[in-house]
Structure formats: structure tokens, C-alpha cells
Chains A and B, each alone.
Chain A
Amino acid sequence: NAGVTQTPKFQVLKTGQSMTLQCAQDMNHEYMSWYRQDPGMGLRLIHYSVGAGITDQGEVPNGYNVSRSTTEDFPLRLLSAAPSQTSVYFCASSGNRGNQPQHFGDGTRLSIL
């Protein structure tokens, strides 16, 4: 099993551009989430979903949109990229809830110039 797959692994954007980070899981997990990790910081929750059609905001949701049309996929959209969004983004999933053990993807390293 691939587990949690994130694409792309690296991306460079210009300020104001839009982009979608993809996340897919093949474990039939209901819960999925997005975190960002800035240098020297812990991971911070951006958005999460407890099932198809249901999404909610985490600690740092501003500037990001999400949707969950299928159990497998949970894309993260940046509508107008800003340099402050330069970060490493991790997608995670769980067969239970967000406060339970998570399976993480490899991460997407995003730079915004």
C-alpha cells in the first residue's frame, strides 16, 4: 500500500499565483488533514476533514481552501500565494479522528517568491 501520497514534492510559485497540493490515501480513512511546518517550528493544523463532504478549519486556515469530494482525496488550494505561505506541507490521515495516531505523507516543499 502507498499509504498517503502527496504531489508534487517540490514547487516554486510567484506571489499571487494559485496552486493545488494533492493528497490521496488508499487506506479508506475517513479523517484527513493538512499541516504546515515552518523552519524551527512544529507542525500546525491548517484544515481537516472527518469524511467526504465535511471540512473544518484548523489553527492556521487563512489563505487556504479545501474540499473533500471523495474519501480518498483531500486537495489543498492556495488561491493567491503569498511569501508567508512558504513552508513544508504535510497531509495526514487516520482511521479514527484527528486526536489519534496519524499516517503522514512525505510532504510538499513549497517556495513562494
Chain B
Amino acid sequence: AQRVTQPEKLLSVFKGAPVELKCNYSYSGSPELFWYVQYSRQRLQLLLRHISRESIKGFTADLNKGETSFHLKKPFAQEEDSAMYYCALPIGGADGLTFGKGTHLIIQP
């Protein structure tokens, strides 16, 4: 079954430091992977998807099929990056997404 693992429940880094939020997945076939973000008092929103290969708000994520990972990275963290981050991929058996448990990122000043 498709599964998404985000091993860190909480990640705290200082402003200006690099950030890496980990996401590992299990999926049969070529998955499309997503990162969603929820800022305080805002709704869950798409941050980026691997197929677009974009950099959004300074974040990038590379799909590593060998390691089955899709880690989210940013070279220099900013305080406004503090939020909950969720990695997601298609369920497979139903038309929807399966989400990881999320990582709470806190950027300290």
C-alpha cells in the first residue's frame, strides 16, 4: 500500500540556517509527490509538486527514486516559514491523496 513517512514531528532551526524536511514514501510505479503547507490560521495549501520542478518561496524538493525520498529543502530559513508541512502522494486505490503525519517547522529568530 502507498505510504508516506515524515520522520520528524517537530523541527526547530534558527533564522538563516538551512532547512530540510524529510519525506519517504512507498509506492508502486512512478508517483507524483506534493508538499502542502499550513500556516497559522490559514488553510492547507499546495507548496510545490515534483513534476513542476519549481522553487516556491525558496523551497525545492527533488524526487529520489532510489531512496524513495522527496525531501523539502531551503538554504536559508525565514521566520515566515514557520508552519506545518505535509508530504502527500496519490493513494492508488482511490482517487485522492495519502498524507504524511506532518512536520511542525519552527524558525527561531
Contact = CB atoms under 8 A, between A and B. Distances in A.
Q: Do A and B bind each other?
A: yes
Interface of A: 4, 31, 33, 35, 40-45, 48, 50, 56-59, 90, 97-102, 104-107
Nearest to A57: B94
Contacts of B34: 101
Top 3 nearest A-B pairs (CB, nearest first) are A42-B99, A99-B90, A98-B95
Most A-side CB within 10 Å, residue of B32, B34, B45, B101: B101
Interface residues of B, number: 23
Secondary structure of the A contact surface, majority rule: loop
6 contacts: A4-B43, A40-B9, A42-B88, A45-B91, A59-B91, A102-B46
Interface of B: 4, 9, 32, 34, 43-46, 49, 86, 88, 90-91, 93-102
A56 B94 CA distance: 8
Given A35-B99, A99-B97, 9 more contacts: A42-B99, A43-B88, A43-B99, A59-B96, A90-B44, A98-B91, A99-B90, A101-B49, A104-B43
B44 A42 contact: no
B94 A59 contact: yes
A45 B90 CA distance: 11
A35 B90 CA distance: 14
Nearest to B95: A98
B16 to A, nearest CB: 30
